[in-house]
Amino acid sequence: MLEIKNLHVNVDGREILKGLDLTLPQGEVHAVMGPNGSGKSTLAYVLAGKEDYEVTAGSVTWKGEDLLAMSPSERAASGVFLAFQYPLEIPGVATMTFLRTAVNAVRKARGEEELSTPDFLRLVRAKAKLLKIDIEMLKRPLNVGFSGGEKKRNEILQMALLEPALCVLDETDSGLDIDAVRIVAEGVNALRSPKRAMLVITHYQRLLNYIVPDRVHVLSDGRVARSGGPELALELEESGYAEFGEAASGAAA
């Protein structure tokens, strides 16, 4: 379903991804782990189509199409969703308004009818309840003054509403306490489906106690250094990234 081949990416003239290969079949959940600077977030941004990330070689095929040729909005319409590590604030725009604009933009692009206000409200209420999000929170301007947990839950709410086929979660657990991690993870697990692939990017193993992946890939110096089953994450928990991290920074220097 998602096939990344020999991906090389430059940021500000510096090569971050150096020939990354990764295949994510439909219905599977893969975790991407790795030390800081190994290229995890770069991979997330490249998949979502952020500017200033220059692909110098390689390919990303998504549902048989060239993902890299698509604009960010086209990717969203085709089912790619990135849960941001640092969600952005938009003052003056009620979260609810943002959600509705996004849902309808994506529906329109997919050739579906826009949701009526009552239908939309019903949908939001149902999904918000699952994530223990208070509807009052959605009346506040998008992410403005939200706590870390609120921001991340809001990301997962968007994911639930946009019904993506590929979910990329960029360090969704960072900055969350254990209860918040559990709530977010439950929200993510509720979205696991045979029709949906997920790429869970995380620095720590703890998130994977709740979201149990089918495969784990360890990134080091812009490449997948090792792949394995869920037990690989546990192994890393014990041994740390020394084996990958130190080597990576040494090579980069």
Partner 1 sequence: MPAVQETVARVKEIDVDKYKYGFFTDIESVKAPKGLNEDVVRFISAKKGEPDWLLDWRLEAYRRWLTMQEPTWANVVHPKIDFQDLYYYSAPKSTEGPKSLADVDPELLRTYERLGIPLSEQKVLAGVEGARVEGRVAVDAVFDSVSVVTTFKEELAKAGVIFSSVSEAVKTHPELVRKYLGSVVPITDNFYATLNSAVFSDGSFVYVPPGVRCPMELSTYFRINAEQTGQFERTLIIADEGSYVSYLEGCTAPMRDEKQLHAAVVELVALDDAEIKYSTVQNWYPGDKEGKGGIYNFVTKRGDCRGKNAHISWTQVETGSAITWKYPSCILRGDGSRGEFYSIAISNGYQQVDSGTKMIHLGKDTSSRIISKGIAAGHSNNTYRGLVSAHRRAANARNFTCCDSLLIGDKCGAHTVPYIEAKNASATFEHEATTSKISDDQLFYCLSRGLSAEEAVALIVNGFVRDVLQQLPMEFMAETQKLISISLEGSVG
The helix (H) or strand (E) run that includes residue 52 is: none
Distance CA 204, CA 202 (A): 6
- State the binding string over 62-81 for partner 1 (x if CB under 8 A, else -): ---------xxx-xxx---x
Read off the tokens for 29.
């959940």
Other C-beta atoms closer than 10 Å to the C-beta of 111 total 7
Segment contacting partner 1 (CB under 8 A): 9-17, 49-57, 173-181, 207-215?
49-57
Decide if 8 contacts 59 (C-beta within 8 A): no
Q: What is the dihedral of CA 149, 99, 201, 39, to 10 degrees?
A: -110
Residue 37: closest CA among 57, 12, 16: 16
Count of residues binding partner 1 (CB under 8 A)?
Answer: 31
Segment contacting partner 1 (CB under 8 A): 98-106, 178-186, 228-236, 241-249?
98-106
Segment contacting partner 1 (CB under 8 A): 86-94, 220-228, 229-237, 245-253?
86-94
- State the binding string over 145-174 for partner 1 (x if CB under 8 A, else -): -------------x---x------------
Distance CA 26, CA 225 (A): 23
Which parts of this chain interact with partner 1 (CB under 8 A)? Answer: 48-51, 71-73, 75-77, 81-82, 84, 87-93, 97-98, 101-102, 105-106, 109, 141-142, 158, 162
